[in-house]
Structure formats: structure tokens, C-alpha cells
Structure 1
Amino acid sequence: MEVSMKNEKNTNNSTAHFRKDIGLFGGISLVAGMVIGSGIYYLGTTVLERSGMSMGLALLCWIVGGIVSILGGLCFAELGASMPVAGGQTVYLSRAYHPLLGFINGFNLFCINGSGSTAALAIASVAFLDGVMHLSSLTSKLLAILLIAAFTLINLVGVKKASYLQNFTMVFRLLPIVLIIVFGFAMGDVTPDLSLRHAFDDHSGITGAISLVAFATFASLWAFEGWTNMNSVAEELRNPKKNLPLSIIISLGTITIIYTIFNLAIYKVLPMDTISAMMAKGDLYLGSEVAVRLMGNVGYSLVLAGMIVGVLGTLNGGILVFPRTYYAMAKDGYFPKSFAKLNSKGVPANAIIASSVVACILVCLRDLDALVNLVIFFQAALNMLTVIGVLICRKKYPDIERPYKVLGGIPIIMITAALFAILLINQLITDPLNSLIGLVIPVIAVPVYFFFKKRNGGQDYSADNLE
């Protein structure tokens, strides 16, 4: 597909083109904005608990989670650089395997994973205020809906303004994390036990050790979730064949380092008995306690502000990137045709509005976090299939230009797929109920796929229609 920088006058023309308004820093900010949210503040307790309360093993699992994400990012970068179009993972799965698999991924995003993430982030933003203002349930939900509406309007104005907002939130959200790291290492007087001597006492043998590491690492992956979404806006990147892989590699590498030393800084301030007591009370935000101890109420306020900005930045990023997938699906004939139309600002307005409406509906539902958690297993499975899809696309479309190829070649691709497989199998064994319930989405998606294919005439893919 040829991408034009012109502003199309016909707002109802589905052949209008995206504007290339996102540069390298904007790309890095977008990945960081989609990844660094509230998860860094509360998932540390989950990873620690799954690691058998071994600080050393917990840090190792954060590193492993980062490595898995970076390796996955390298594979996604090859696909994105060779096919720099809107839609990202949905398009890759469609072209590597079959449009049905791509549709299942997009349908999952629209119904639960994407819209549900947007809803959960809006709720989380309001939840931070609830601790200060004691809001009622109805008021909290109304404020969450207003937040979604506000960021929807920002994204309807154009990707450039949304990208500017993403750049601002990325810089601001790093402030409390950096403060905790600096003050933690400078003033922390606890010597954490980082040895692995007793980490595997209850998990003997290689199989037991791998299972324990995989179980804890799987929890950390949720804190890295979001890196796949950069490919969804590849069509709006300046020089995507260079900036897409750079954005993914630089951002994920930096985030892995930040996550690891952030948790280490916490361990240097809070002794294990304090952490255990907080977890027993359900207080999972260890960073807030560190801020209070080292910087008083001012520090706590900074951390709280950073957490809110971080979540809002992730919320903005989701509203920006998810509708690009629905646009690509509609353009190929697998979603409502109106989703393939761009407005005068060069954004898929109908897809953005529909996605936000679904998110607002999900805000009104109870147990939203549990609902989102049901699809984590299936999303990880799709990530694994996308990684394998790199090899399939190389064989299926040998003549398309590949300005970037996975560093390390086929061995790295196979290792990445194997790591995802190990994590998935272990998760299926340790949490079979939620893993299997997550498969409800693809079952529902199949008849919906055939409905749109018959109605709109979805296209198949060959080497001749990749761009």
C-alpha cells in the first residue's frame, strides 16, 4: 500500500491515507506508553510471591520476562519492517496463516483485550483518586467513562497531537520511578538476600525449577504487555523500516533494565517481613511505601502523580493504536466497512469511537480485571504463532523487501517460540481453568468471521497484495 502524507479532503473515502506523523522518539514513547503503566508498581508482589518469596529469583524472572519480550519484539520488527501497514499483529497472522486467525486476534482486541484494557486503565486512574476523595462506585464509573471520552476526542483530532501527549506522559511517568531508584540505592539500608540457595527447595529437579521460573515470569509478562501494539501504527511512522525495529528494541531494552533495578531499589528499602505484611493486607503498591519512607508525603504525592500519569498515558496509547487494527480488518473486508474510513485529520474516527464505546460498556461491568485475565493465555499463544509466522512469511513471500531481519536468524526465532511455548504449557498446567475459558473468544469469533466475509468479501493474501 502506498502511503501518502497528504491530507485527504474526502473524509468518507476509505482510500484516504494515514499521515506519517510519528518519528523515532514518538515510536519509543508509544511503546513505553503502552508498556509502563500501573503494572510496574503492583506486579512486583505477584512475581515475588510466585518466586517463592525469593528476591533473587524474582529479579531473575523480571530479566527473563524482558528477554522474552525483546526477542518477541525482534521478530515483530521484521514483520513490521517488511509490511509497514496498519493492523500489526492481525495483519501478520492473516498473511502468515489464514485471515480467520487474524480476525480472531482482532476480534479478541475489540471485545475484550483491547477495549477491556482501555476500560481497566480508566478505572485504575480513578481508583488512585478514590483513596483521597472516597468516590462512590457510580461516580468512579462515570469519571472513568469521561476519561475515555476525553482521550477519544484527543485522538480524533489527529495522531500528531495524540503522539505529543504520549511523549509528555512518557517523560513525566518516569520521574517517580527514577526517584525511587535513585533514593532507594542512595538511602536504602537493607541488604536484600539475592541468593538462589533456597529458591528451589520446594521445586526439585530441572523440571521443577523451569516450572517455577516460568510461573513467575508469566506474571511479569503482563507488565511488558503492549509492545506488540507498536506495529499497529507502522503506517504512520516516518521511515518505518528503520524506526520500527529501533523503537521496539530501544524501548524494551530500556524498560527491562528499569523494571529490574526498580524492584532491586525496593528490596534495598523494604525488608522481607515488611513486604510480607503488606502483601498479607492486600497492599500491593510497594513503591508508594518506599516513597513515604524516603521522601515523606511529598514523595508519596510525586509517586501517586506519576502512577496516574503513567496509567493515563497507557490509556491514551491504547485508544490510539487499537482502532488501527479494526481499520485494517475493515479494509480487508472482515469488519464493518465504516471502520475503514478516515476523517479529515487522517485518523479512523469510526473505529476509534466504536472501540471507546465498547470500553465504556465494559467499565460498567463487574470483575473487569478477571475478564481481562481470561484472555492473557490466548494472547500469549497468538504472540507465539506470530513469532513462528516470521519463518512462514519468509517462505511464503520470499521476494518482498526485508530491510530488517531478526538478529541471530532462525535460531533466535526458534528459541523465542520455544520460550513462549514453555510459558504457555506451564500456565496451562498451573491455571487450567482461566487458560481454557480464554478460548471462548475464538469460538465466538468463527461465525462472526464468516458473516463479515460473506457480507463484505474479505480478501485472501498472496505476494502480490502485501502492501
Structure 2
Amino acid sequence: MVHSDPNKQSEEPPQLKKVIGVFGGSNILIGIMIGSGIFYIGSYVLQRAGMSMGLALLAWLIGGLVTLLGSLCFAELGAMNPATGGIYVYLSDAYSPVVGYMFNFQSMVIGGPGSIAAIAIALPMALKTFLPMNGQMVKIWAIVLIVIFTLINYFGVDTGEWVQNLFNVLKVLPLILIILLGLFWGHYDPNLTLAPHTGHVSPVGFIQMLAFAVIASLWAYEGWTNLNAVAGEMKNPQRNLPRALILSVGFTTIVYVLFNLAIYRSLPFGQISNTIQHNQLYLGTDVARSFLGQFGTVLVAGAMVLAMISSLNGMILAFARYYYAAARDHLLWRSFAHINSKYRTPDFSLFIQMLISIGLVMTRELDQLTSLVVFSGAIFNLLSVLAVPVMRHRQPNTPRPYKVWAYPWTVVIAAVAFLIILGNNFIDDPVTSVLGLVVPAIGAMVYWGFRHHYNSDQVG
């Protein structure tokens, strides 16, 4: 008789815990999307909309609609294949592993470092109300911040879950305060016509202006694809993933529109225009000051800074793992997979990420960084949306617990929207757009180079 040993350890590898439900998934996305961008992106949206408040609000709505349509497509893909990995998995399955790697590569070179650089620049700009500084000083402080938080993550400092939750609360509080003050106690009736204040424009010029404003708004929605990356850790992802996506994107769109409307109701147009012209982008602090005086300014600015510090630290921590994971899969040099023996952190990846981020700070402005991240992300969002019909053709019999509403029109509208965004950004900022195209192309060459090298080693 064979007796089982109760002390014998299971040889099965540990599995990810399925602990995320609808509420938890929605909170993850809302926490990612409602970040630092809302505090300053509204100024860029208004500026790109020809200072038309009505056109700016329309851009926020369209940005939310595009994000929602894209999220519906991601809901079908995620429910069909609820595996951890998100876009990487969908692009690899629908097209080729090299396409999935191109997404990972642009995340390593543009998406991660670009987001880090943007937050690092935005943080000192939020303090310009208290500490006047020129553009050069803003960039110096941005570089210092990137270095400091890279070192913090190198030494393995764990802030703890309760600190992150505190930062999330502090991030939302100024939004709620400004929305309530502006909507219920604002004294101004904003002009919500769609006519730009910059003068008459042709119909084609109007569409281009609106599309360029939508691109800016999409930076604030950036991060909506991240829930699919943890689909493997969701409870009943076939049902909960689509619900969490729809709920979080819808809620975020409402918050963004109300936040900007509250600003328009709280401040006269002349003050808003003059403030933006002087590169003071944080209109929310002006709203708080108009109602609560200097205390309101300090309260909102302090909460924004703490929230951005949390975002910057989290990005530096998380994005460095892209390099580590790629090297572990033999698709980058082994140095990127090195773990510091004392602090147990991916030191080489952290410092390479720091150098790329600093390079982007030195060569790009804040609005260029946001456009760069959105443009490069839109390329793969478009491919992911088109993966829905591709997978329906390639795997027609695979169970689909959730199907895109109004298919194929949802896919068509979302794809056209991303194409318009890409085309318009290419016209308005060709240098940024070329960079957004070149980096994934280099990623393809890197993939084939490392894959060939690894296969050769295996044969040898």
C-alpha cells in the first residue's frame, strides 16, 4: 500500500490568485486613468480647441467615447482569452508574436519612459504658483525627481499598500472639491458654442482642431487597457471584465467633463485665457483659490503633488519590469534581467529606464510627451480593435462569453477614430509621429535578432 506523505510539497507551480471583482477592477482602472493628467490636460485641450469651451467639452466626450468603444473590443478579447498579458497576448494571437513584442518594445522605449518624463515635468509645474521657475528649472527638477525615485526603487523601499490607498484618496479629493464648488457655487455662465475663439476655420480645419484636442484628452484616459493585463487574476473574468471596463470608462468620462465644466463656471474666460498663455496650466488651483483663498490653493496643490509623487513612484517601479521580463524571455540582453543581490531589485533595468526618461525630458516638452505616448499607444490600440474581426475569422468556434455591442459598427467606428487621431497627429507633429513609428519597427528587428540568437544557442 502506498501512503501519501502529508508533508510533501505540491510540485505544481504556484498560480495567480483570482481575487479581483467588478468593484476592484473598476477601482484599478479609475485609479490609473484619473491621475495627474486631469489637473493640467484640460488647459491643453482648451488651447487646441481654439479656446472654445464648448469644443473642448466635446473633445472630452469624444475622447471618452473612443475609449469606451475601444474598451468594448478589449472586453470581447479579454473574455475570450482571460490570460494575464493583455495587449501582448491579443496581438500575438491575432497577428504574430513579433507584433506583440513590438508593443512591449514601444512600452519600454516610449510608453513607460514617456509617461515617467511627463509626470516628472508636470510635478514641478504644479508648484509654479508657489515657486516661480522657468522652463529650464522645471526640466532640472524633473530630472532630479526621476533620479531620486529611481534610487528609492533601487534600494527596494516598499511604501506599503495603505500609503498607495492614501495617495489615491488625496488624488480624488481635489477633483470632488472643484466639481462641487464650481457646479453649485460658480458665478459664470460659460459660452459653450463650438466656434473657436482663434477665428474662423474651414470645415476641414475644424475637424483637425477637434481631433488634435481629442488627442490631448486621450492622455487623461491613458491606462484603460491595463485591466486586461491582469485578467488572469479576476474572478469570473468573462462576466466581470466587460462590466468593470464599461463602468470605469463611463465614470471617468463623467468626472472629466464635470471637472472642466466646473472650471468654466468658476473662472472668467479672460482669466482662463491669460493663465494658459502664461503657461500656468493648473486651473483647478485657481478655482480653489477663488472660493477658499490661499488655503484652497495650498490644499489642492498639495494633494496634486502627493498624487503625482505616487504616480511617478509607481510608474518607475512597474515599467522597469518590462525590460526585466523581456530579458528573462531571451528577447533583451541578459543584463536587463539582473537582480541586485542585496536589494532584490532589477537594477540595470531601472537605470536604463532612468536614462531614457531623462533623455525624453531634455528633448521633449510636456504636450509633446503626452502626444508621443498617446500616438504610439494608439497604433497598438488600433491593431487590438482590429484583432476582434481577425480572431472571429481565425477562431469562429471559440466561445465568446461577451461580444462587442453593435458589431461590426463598434469596431469600424473605433478603428476610424484611432486612424483619424493617428493621421491628424502625423500632420500636426510629424517628428513625434515618426518617432512613434520608428521605435516599434526597431522593436521588430530586436525581436528577430534575439530570437535568432537564442535559437542558435539552443541548437549549439
TM-score range, shorter chain: 0.7 to 0.9
Q: What is the CA distance between 1:337 and its match in structure 2?
A: 7.7
TM-score (norm 2): 0.83
Report the AA paired with residue 236 of structure 1.
Answer: E
Contact 1:58 1:216 in 2 (8 A): yes
Contact 1:172 1:309 in 2 (8 A): yes
Cross-structure match for 1:409: 407
Cross-structure match for 2:352: 358
Aligned runs of 1:121-160 on 2, under 5 Å?
A: 121-122=119-120, 124-125=122-123, 128=126, 141-150=143-152
Identify if the C-alpha distance between structure 1 residues 332 and 359 changes in structure 2 by more than 3 Å, giving closer, same or farther. Answer: closer
Cross-structure match for 1:98: 96
Among candidates 44, 56, 70, match of residue 42 of structure 2: 44
1:309 to 2:306 alignment = yes
Report the AA paired with residue 377 of structure 1.
Answer: F
Say which SS state the counterpart of residue 268 (structure 1) adopts.
helix
Contact 2:73 2:385 in 1 (8 A): yes
* Distance (Å, rounded) in 2 between the aligned partners of 1:126 and 1:133: 9
* Distance (Å, rounded) in 1 between the aligned partners of 2:80 and 2:279: 46
Identify if the C-alpha distance between structure 1 residues 282 and 130 changes in structure 2 by more than 3 Å, giving closer, same or farther. Answer: closer
Report the AA paired with residue 428 of structure 2.
Answer: T
Cross-structure match for 1:300: 297
Identify which range, 88-97 or 361-370, moves more after superposition: 361-370
* Distance (Å, rounded) in 1 between the aligned partners of 2:321 and 2:45: 32
Q: What is the CA distance between 1:359 and its match in structure 2?
A: 3.1
Contact 2:71 2:224 in 1 (8 A): yes
Cross-structure match for 2:363: 367
Q: What is the CA distance between 1:73 and its match in structure 2?
A: 1.1
1:32 to 2:30 alignment = yes
Deviations 1:33-60 (A, max 9, x none): 2222221121112111221111111111
* Distance (Å, rounded) in 2 between the aligned partners of 1:454 and 1:37: 41
Aligned runs of 1:264-343 on 2, under 5 Å?
A: 264-315=261-312, 318=315, 322=319, 334-335=331-332
Among candidates 57, 66, 69, match of residue 68 of structure 1: 66
Contact 1:50 1:215 in 2 (8 A): yes
Report the AA paired with residue 146 of structure 2.
Answer: A
* Distance (Å, rounded) in 1 between the aligned partners of 2:96 and 2:113: 24
* Distance (Å, rounded) in 2 between the aligned partners of 1:323 and 1:194: 43
Instruction: Give the number of the structure whose alpha-carbon radius of gyration is greater.
Output: 2
Among candidates 188, 191, 208, match of residue 190 of structure 1: 188
1:263 to 2:260 alignment = yes
Identify which range, 334-343 or 295-304, moves more after superposition: 334-343
Deviations 1:405-454 (A, max 9, x none): 22222211111111111222222223323212322202322221112212
Say which SS state the counterpart of residue 260 (structure 1) adopts.
helix
TM-score (norm 1): 0.82
Matched residue count: 437
Deviations 1:70-121 (A, max 9, x none): 1111111221222222221122111111112111110011122113313442
* Distance (Å, rounded) in 1 between the aligned partners of 2:127 and 2:186: 29
Identify which range, 247-256 or 429-438, moves more after superposition: 429-438
Report the AA paired with residue 228 of structure 1.
Answer: T
Say which SS state the counterpart of residue 438 (structure 1) adopts.
helix
Question: How many percent of aligned residue pairs carry the same amino acid?
Answer: 41
* Distance (Å, rounded) in 2 between the aligned partners of 1:243 and 1:423: 30
Identify if the C-alpha distance between structure 1 residues 336 and 217 changes in structure 2 by more than 3 Å, giving closer, same or farther. Answer: same
* Distance (Å, rounded) in 2 between the aligned partners of 1:208 and 1:299: 39
Q: What is the CA distance between 1:300 and its match in structure 2?
A: 1.3
Identify if the C-alpha distance between structure 1 residues 403 and 441 changes in structure 2 by more than 3 Å, giving closer, same or farther. Answer: same
Identify if the C-alpha distance between structure 1 residues 287 and 377 changes in structure 2 by more than 3 Å, giving closer, same or farther. Answer: same
Among candidates 222, 226, 235, match of residue 225 of structure 1: 222
Q: What is the CA distance between 1:334 and its match in structure 2?
A: 3.9
Cross-structure match for 2:448: 450
1:239 to 2:274 alignment = no
Cross-structure match for 2:416: 418
